Amino acid sequence: MNRKNLPIITPRDVNPELVDSTVQHIGYNHKIAPFKFINQNGKVITNKDYEGKIYVADFFFTTCQTICPKMTTNMTWLQEQIKYNPKVKLLSHTVFPDEDTVEVLKRYAKERGVIDEKWNLVTGDQREIYKIARQSYLVVKTGKPEELYDMVHTENFVLVDQKGRIRGFYDGTLLDEKKEGVKNVKQLLEDIEYLSNQE
């Protein structure tokens, strides 16, 4: 297989507006921090469930009418492509955990054909969700520090490798549409397949 240019992304590589100031200086060995959330089945999901897996993470909320429906449709398409690949999983975090309870997430998952073994929709402590979005996944734009726990909303799908490192950001609203300087979901699938063949 051809060598693919799939960088290991650190906070130093990302627009500072998207990165928490506490990690902006990190230029090597950045990994997703340990986490603990509750999924659509009321089960505790931690980073251990994703250990040694390639996974795609995003942030959404069930009542969103703007970018989320398109992102969910594209994540469902992605689930279909990777459902027989045991190395790959999906992880969607709600940014409105008070509204998106386990019951709400369960209904949303059923409506969208979520395969429980492949795709966790998680809720939990809002501060923890927002903290991991900014400090680990590097996907949230906020202005002042006091806005940190306001709205986290991004169209990014984040590709995480088997070692918990970020390998790419993709526009979850674009399946195969081209946009200058942006990778789409079909390119994400190619990068997942590349990582799958690395070990």
Query: Whole-angstrom Cα distance, residue 56 to residue 50?
Result: 10
Please give the radius of gyration of the chain, using alpha carbons only, rounded to the nearest integer.
16
Residue 1 confidence (pLDDT): 43
Residue 15 confidence (pLDDT): 77
Fold of the domain built from segment(s) 11-196: Glutaredoxin (3.40.30)
Residue 68 confidence (pLDDT): 80
Sequence ranges of the domains in the chain:
11-196
| Residue whose tokens read 């590589």 | 13
Instruction: Name the packing angle between helices 68-82 and 185-196 (round to 10°).
Output: 30
- pTM for this prediction: 0.91
Residue 25 confidence (pLDDT): 74
CA angle, 156 as apex, 2 and 18 as ends, to 5°?
110
Closest CA to 70 of 159, 179, 184, 192: 184
- Phi/psi-derived region of residue 113, left when phi > 0, alpha when psi is between -120 and 50, beta in every other case: left
64 labelled ligand-binding:
yes
93 labelled ligand-binding:
no
- The per-residue pLDDT string of the chain (199 residues; one tens digit each, 9 = 90 and over) reads 455 778 888 888 887 776 777 777 777 789 999 999 999 999 999 999 999 999 999 999 999 888 888 999 999 999 999 999 999 999 999 999 999 999 999 999 999 999 999 999 999 999 999 889 988 998 876 555 555 545 566 789 999 999 999 999 999 999 999 999 899 999 999 999 999 998 6
Residue 194 confidence (pLDDT): 95
153 labelled ligand-binding:
yes
Cβ atoms of residues 148 and 134 within 8 Å: yes
Pull the structure tokens for residue 123: 């809720």
